Amino acid sequence: MSSLDLALAIQGIPSLRGVFVTALPECLLFDALLSEEHQDTKSVEEVAMLFGELLQTNQRTLQLLGAQQPHAQLLVEHQEMLFCIRPLPFQFALGIIYEPDVPLGLVRVFASQIAGHITSQLEDIARQAGSRGGVLLDYALGHLPEPSTVVRRLSLRTGIPMDTLHQPALLSEKETELLEGAVCDILGVEHIELAS
């Protein structure tokens, strides 16, 4: 598990069954927190994986339908629960499961609050890791065409193995420079302005 403080992120938010943070694109569990009543969920990793896959499928569908902003949240209503899945920076997905009686407007508000807290924590983790590579990869996935092939194309252009690109915090300074050069080349720009 990660060093996220999910308890802080959900503090004061009622009717939650669980919160899942999934690392994309592999859809691996990064962190999760379940309410006391739902601690017996045996397949936390599988739920996290499916949340990631649902978000990626939703994004691909929106792109195929010509959506200008394919990074939308997905909200599913069921008589026994509600769940919301939304993208987070640095190639993560956030899945939140609520009790079925939570009004949909509050689901969105709560999801936004939780995402804000977790995004702040992810930014801190990236800063601590010195992950300019992670910021570059996140930028590439958000700005280059065909996100499903971005890592493969960057790997071919830079010579950096795909497995290494999927762990951008581990990139060396030279690899990070190669990555930035490849992103610039594909975009046809000389320089990328990234928030530090």
Three-state DSSP state, 94 = strand
Q: Which residue has the higher pLDDT, 26 or 3?
A: 26
pLDDT for the residue 90: 79
* DSSP H or E segment with residue 57: helix 44-64
Task: Work out the average pLDDT over 30-40.
Answer: 85
Three-state DSSP state, 149 = helix
Three-state DSSP state, 67 = coil
Average pLDDT, the chain: 86
Measure Cα distances from 60 to 47, 63, 108, 168 in Å.
20, 5, 22, 23
pLDDT for the residue 138: 80
Asked whether the bond before 25 is cis by omega within 30 degrees of 0, the reply is yes
Task: Work out the average pLDDT over 98-118.
Answer: 94
